[in-house]
Amino acid sequence: MFFDASRRSKKVSYAIRDIVVEAAKLEKQGKKILYLNIGDPLRYDFRTPEHLWKAVFEAKEKSTSYAPSEGIREAGEAIASDFKKKGMRVDAKHIMIGNGCSELIWFAMGCIANPNDSILLPRPCYPVYQAACSYFDIKIKYYDLEEGEAWQPDIESIEKNIDKKTKAIVVINPNNPTGANYSKKVLKEIIDVAAQHKLVIFSDEIYDALLLEKKAKHYCMGSLARDVPVLVTNGLSKNFLATGFRIGWLAPNEFLVENSDIMEAVFKLGRARLCAVHPFQYAIKPALKGPKRHIREMIKKLRNRRNYVMRRIEEIDGISCTKPSAAFYAFPRIDIPIKNDKEFALGLLRKKGVCVVHGSGFGQKPETKHFRTVILPPINVLREALDKIEEFLRNLH
């Protein structure tokens, strides 16, 4: 090619959407596709709460201009008081609002590490982290999530993979793709390791309200870690059913503010991209301070759908699944011998029209094979998809 794209850009991939390219091709040829690949509740029977749209429309006159780069003040204050309720102290002036958590993940990875430093990512991992680290020439080190231990992080594997160049550890809790919610004990162990090795903890808590077990509790990393630098990201996409609003935020704990200039660097990048979408920032305060009925309704639906998916997977020969207890994913394991799980996912798509994401797209323990499905669709869609997965596996046997 004469006008070659940069080497850096060629290292970036994002399995969740890459598989859609093949699905779209098949759809064009007239094949019906069941999309179970994207974690977007709005594609199914979930709707953004009306009071958030109302707040956006009411802000029309004042939000057609650029916003402050760090975000509007009333939203920053609402986010700070929400963190306070979760036990993390943060001043509104240290919070950055972005175009989704995704943008802030790119900013943070770029501000935490230099090229050739390393960042510890979970394995499996939500792939935006691999994309951002690769783009910034940051080395990726993986620590394992233990399938046999309800997908809790393996502390030994974290310790084993730290070296002199390691700058940070990423914790995704509740987790995408496994659907695990981490115990307080394991979070404290991670904090101890980070303290010992002087690492920053980046905690992605975007699913923290979506706990499917009745007595479950989520622990905000910033509420547990007092003497370790922590950055927490969260947003409107999942808990508030507003993926299209593109609103996320990033907040440091006090220890990070006192001991690091990482947040200043993030603000600098924020200024260089001007601002997050302005009108939708007015939905933040009503989301955090307003009614939360939609969350209770969402959890009820998700619990039913999760239970249905688990029941069906138990009956299907060749796959098994550790029960997800949060968020809206299941990460079944493929127990029969196959070449690799990407071919499995492509085969399922081409032969049966079911679009899931191959486990290797998230990173996984060597020798294991998985796929990720969302548990978001109504039961009739899940039934159709699982019938097809069952037929596909029967033919593979």
Ligand X SMILES: Cc1ncc(COP(=O)(O)O)c(C=O)c1O
- Told to check if 280 binds ligand X by CB under 6 A, we report no
Residue 201's DSSP bridge partners are 169, 230
Give the total of residues touching ligand X (CB under 6 A). 13
- Told to check if 331 binds ligand X by CB under 6 A, we report no
**Residue with nearest beta carbon to ligand X:** 100
Token code pair at residue 106: 């790119």
Q: Which of 75, 96, 172, 230 binds ligand X (CB under 6 A)?
A: 172
- Restricting to residues 110-139, which ones interact with ligand X according to CB under 6 A? 126
- CB neighbourhood size of 269 (10 A): 18
Minimum Å gap between C-beta 29 and ligand X is: 28
Dist CA 302 CA 210 (whole Å): 9
Dist CA 19 CA 238 (whole Å): 22
Cα dist. 289→33, 57, 78, 249, 292 in Å?
39, 18, 7, 16, 9
- Told to check if 281 binds ligand X by CB under 6 A, we report no
Cα dist. 266→63, 220, 261, 385 in Å?
23, 21, 9, 42
Q: Which of 34, 52, 78, 101 binds ligand X (CB under 6 A)?
A: 101
- Told to check if 144 binds ligand X by CB under 6 A, we report no
Cα dist. 94→74, 145, 231 in Å?
13, 31, 11
Minimum Å gap between C-beta 176 and ligand X is: 4
- Told to check if 242 binds ligand X by CB under 6 A, we report no
- Told to check if 100 binds ligand X by CB under 6 A, we report yes
- Restricting to residues 1-40, which ones interact with ligand X according to CB under 6 A? 39
Which range of residues in 26-34, 66-74, 100-108, 382-390 is near ligand X by CB under 6 A?
Answer: 100-108
Nearest-10 crossing angle of helices 100-112, 128-135? 40
What is residue 109's DSSP assignment? Answer: H
Q: Which of 204, 208, 341, 390 binds ligand X (CB under 6 A)?
A: 204
Lay out the site mask for ligand X across 55-84 (x = CB under 6 A, - = otherwise). Answer: ------------------------------
Binding site for ligand X (CB under 6 A): 39, 100-102, 126, 172, 176, 204, 206, 235, 237, 243, 248
